[in-house]
Amino acid sequence: MSNLFSPIKIGGMELNNRIVIPPMCQYSAGDGQANEWHLAHYGNLAMSGAALLIIEATGVSPQGRISYADLGLWDKNTAHALSKVINFIRLHSDIKIGIQLAHAGRKASTDLGWKPHRYFQPDDPRGWQVYAPSAIPFGANGMVPKSLTKEEIKAIIAQFAEAAKLAYSIGIDMVEIHGAHGYLIHQFLSPVSNKRTDEYGGSPENRMRFGLEVFDAIKAAVPADFPVGIRISATDWIEGGWDIDQSIEFARELDKRGCGYIHVSTGGLDGSQQMPALHPGYQLPFAEAIKKTVKMPVIGVGLITDPAEAEQVIKEEMADLIAIGRAMLYDPRWGWHAAAALGAQVTPPPQYVRSEPHGQKELFKK
């Protein structure tokens, strides 16, 4: 039996294989609300053969979005718009659906992801004031953020919890907290971006406090069996920054609290990062190091495009699940093709059963 196509549980949620579609920003919403693009995009990916689809980074407040066109989940309007996408997927697919809840912090108020990077100032209708643990901009041309007060920190924690309640209410299966890629939780974690002198800064324990409080608030806001996972950057790729040792300690604290899984990426905090030459699986050693220290499942990610590579990662227990991102955009039937290559099976919608290739009559579960 294929390792990649073996079942696994995240909390009480059962997955029929180890393929995950990670969050990938679309920059296509209006006032935070999902629309026809999201119907087409997620409806297509829901038929990919993956077991879990995680909806893109979704702002827990208007100011928490990366750009003015980001998806949001903060009120009845954003929840209702997204519920249409969820209900549409449910008509045609049994894929499990997660959502990544995010606050961009100092990396907010930017232009669309495919345009030259720039910030919109608060007086621009597409922009707003950005906030962070400390008044340190993201790069030389970044907007100088306002340092969050303790009251504002508590308010953002409450926004995460409310967004999770809304996600549960519209039928989403699980929540992923965005603690990676230089966004607000990561900004608190890293000593590069967090120069606070109160209980949210200084020692690793203090810098972890905000992320752990977000996790605790979400867990308290949803049913006990509703999985709550997290994505982290295991290293800043900056000397003296957030690193794998601190990531392991953070993962252990989350594990104690009943975290559903940890999704291990790297980088994104600051333009001074010194990343190695990119190659398939370049981030997997970080996932493997964390996996050795926690009970919860670990998702590995990083330019993994070949089914044989993904199969080997699971076989060698470097990670428990594999996130296939850009390769899934390029080939939205990646899961089908992986099953064909590994001698496994997938379940297509009945409308597509006749596409089963000649010579592979056992590919589709009927």
Q: Of 27, 68, 131, 183, which is the active-site residue?
A: 183
- Residue 256, classified by CB atoms within 10 Å of its CB into exposed (0-12), middle (13-18) or buried (19+), is exposed
3-state SS, residue 265: strand
Distance CA 323, CA 341 (A): 18
Collapsed DSSP state (helix, strand, coil) of residue 201: coil
The three-point CA angle 141-144-147 to 5° equals 155
8 Å CB contact between 104 and 184: yes
13-15 vs 8-10, strand pairing mode: antiparallel
CA distances from 24 to 27, 41, 211, 270 (A): 9, 11, 21, 20
Strand, helix or coil for residue 42 = helix
Locate 261 and state its tokens. Answer: 């899984």
Tokens of 221: 């806001």
Element (H, E) at 101: strand 96-102
| Phi, psi at 339, each rounded to 5° | -60, -40
Three-class SS state of 98: strand
DSSP 8-state assignment for residue 268: -
Strand locations in 169-282 (E): 174-179, 228-233, 262-265
Q: Is 183 marked active-site?
A: yes
What is the Cα 143 distance to its own chain's centre?
24
As annotated, the active-site residues are 183
